[in-house]
Amino acid sequence: MDALDIMSDLDHVIPYFQPIFSADEHRIIGYEILGRYQDSEKVISLGPFFRDRSIPDEFRIEVDNVVLKKAMEKALTLDNDVLLFINRSEELLMNDSGEDLLQLLLKYQEKGISLNRIVLEISNEDPHHQIDHLLNYYRTFGIKIAIDKMKNTSSLLDRIGDLKPDIVKVDLVPLRSMNPPQAFHEILYSLSLLARKIGAALLFKNIEMVYQLQFAWKNGGRYYQGYYLEGPSGQFVPRDSLKNKLKTEFHEFIIYEKRKLEAIVTITDEFQSRLQVILNKTRKYNEYEDLLGALAKDLEGIAFRIYICDEDGFQKSPNLIKMEKGWDIQPEYIQKNWSWRPYFLENIVKMRKEKKGILSDLYHDIETGDATRTFSFPLNGYDYLFIDLSYDFLYKHNQLL
Ligand code: CA
């Protein structure tokens, strides 16, 4: 499609609307406005037109504004709490210091679309600093900011830190393959923690299959968008169109997750009793090393590393580590300090108070790189036992993975 054909036929430039659903209400809470061109027989996305930098800025801005005006006219009929997500490139926004867009939106505020219903989606492709001033200026009018497109994660984290957006959009396309890059899960997990810390909501987009919806729900997604729910359309969809379907599906997710969590509690309890039995029969030992030796026999196939720390995190025993030929002793770990590790002191305090062991979350061991969980256990009034579980054991109890 030639850019000039579009420019000379703006009557056929139209807005499309893709619904965005919320996890807390199971209904449509907003629409992303997308540009389309109505050909004689089909509707064409204007995405490539907007991204084509060889097309003069004025053309792209003009088409952007045509789409937006037509969309706002239609949006006048919506409930007055429905959000409107508007795409703007940072580069084009800076062209006139963002005044055009603001004036257009203010005009529609007079007609009834309050500015706090506007979510401006920006991408983090070429962040530069002046844009932050502009976006903060927009915010004084109530406009919300969303960051879309996570191409480069490290710059995304910077952008999120600088901008403190209201919404972060996360693309689930990498999850389309059944074997997404392993780091994808960890990055998303970090992103969900960061979003929570700064008070931003996560919006997962390109949800095309039910397992992606489940993934989004499980990873702290408050908003969802994608063909699995609704594709873009020239018309607005009734807000409750998927209410029952979503309620049923979320119910399944909840049941599944509760089962998994219950299994983890059961395994934690089993560990607790098992250790008590072992410790009762090895009451007499001179050195912690002897105790660990006795434990290792009973934890064959379960643990790959065992050690003891005091409540400040100083290691009081060597590591006992499982090698191919048997257990090895690593005395060089004595007196190392682990209090800097996430949750370490939190868990110590919890164990001391509840006099019970704790099973950690799933993480990757810093030395072996394997997925593991650690079972920690209060040994006496002052020292704590740490058991790193082997991957084979987790695999056999796959709720732990
Ligand atoms: Ca977008």
Query: DSSP characters for 289-349?
Result: HHHHHHHHHHTTTTEEEEEEEETTSBB-S-EEEE-SSSEEEEGGGTT-B-TTSTTHHHHHH
Q: Is residue 343 part of a domain?
A: yes
Four-point Cα dihedral 176, 182, 186, 187, nearest 10: -60
The pLDDT of residue 157: 78
| 274 and 217 fall within a common domain | no
Q: Is residue 188 part of a domain?
A: yes
The pLDDT of residue 368: 87
CA of 250 to the centre of ligand 1 (A): 25
CA of 4 to the centre of ligand 1 (A): 24
* Ligand 1 ion: nearby residues, β-carbon < 5 Å: 87, 121, 148
Listed residues 207, 228, 249: the one ending a domain: 228
Counting Cβ atoms within 10 Å, is residue 43 exposed (0-12), middle (13-18) or buried (19+)? middle
Please enumerate in sequence order all residues whose Cβ is within 8 A of that of 143, keeping only pairs 6 or more positions apart, or say none.
105, 115, 116, 118, 119, 120
Of 294, 276, 345, 287, nearest in space to 317 by CA:
287
Angle at 82 between CA 76 and CA 84, to 5 degrees: 80
CA of 130 to the centre of ligand 1 (A): 21
CA of 260 to the centre of ligand 1 (A): 35
Please give the Cα distance from 237 to 318 (Å, whole number): 64
Contact indicator for 33, 87 with CB cutoff of 8 Å:
yes
Q: Is residue 257 part of a domain?
A: no
CA of 121 to the centre of ligand 1 (A): 6
Using N-to-C axis directions, what is the helix angle for 210-218 and 243-281, rounded to 10°?
60
Give the number of other Cβ atoms within 10 Å of residue 176's Cβ: 11
Q: What is the mean pLDDT of each run of 10 residues along the chain (401 residues)?
A: 90 97 96 95 93 92 96 97 94 86 97 98 72 92 89 72 91 75 78 88 95 92 97 96 96 95 93 91 85 92 96 97 94 96 94 94 88 94 95 90 84
Contact indicator for 322, 390 with CB cutoff of 8 Å:
yes
CA of 109 to the centre of ligand 1 (A): 22
CA of 87 to the centre of ligand 1 (A): 5
The pLDDT of residue 126: 62
Please enumerate in sequence order all residues whose Cβ is within 8 A of that of 191, keeping only pairs 6 or more positions apart, or say none.
150, 156, 157, 160, 168, 170, 202
CA of 148 to the centre of ligand 1 (A): 6
| 39 and 171 fall within a common domain | yes
Please give the Cα distance from 324 to 126 (Å, whole number): 50
CA of 355 to the centre of ligand 1 (A): 50
For 93, 217, 283, 384, the CA distances from 358, given in Å and listed in that order, are 52, 26, 22, 11
Q: Is residue 118 part of a domain?
A: yes
Q: Is residue 66 part of a domain?
A: yes
The pLDDT of residue 82: 98
CA of 90 to the centre of ligand 1 (A): 13
Q: Is residue 240 part of a domain?
A: no
Q: How many domains does the chain have?
A: 2
Domain, as residue range, for 38: 3-228
- 313: phi > 0 → left, psi -120 to 50 → alpha, else beta; which? left
What CATH number should be reported for the domain holding residue 98? 3.20.20.450
The pLDDT of residue 190: 82
Overall pTM surpassing 0.75 (yes/no):
yes
Q: Is residue 123 part of a domain?
A: yes
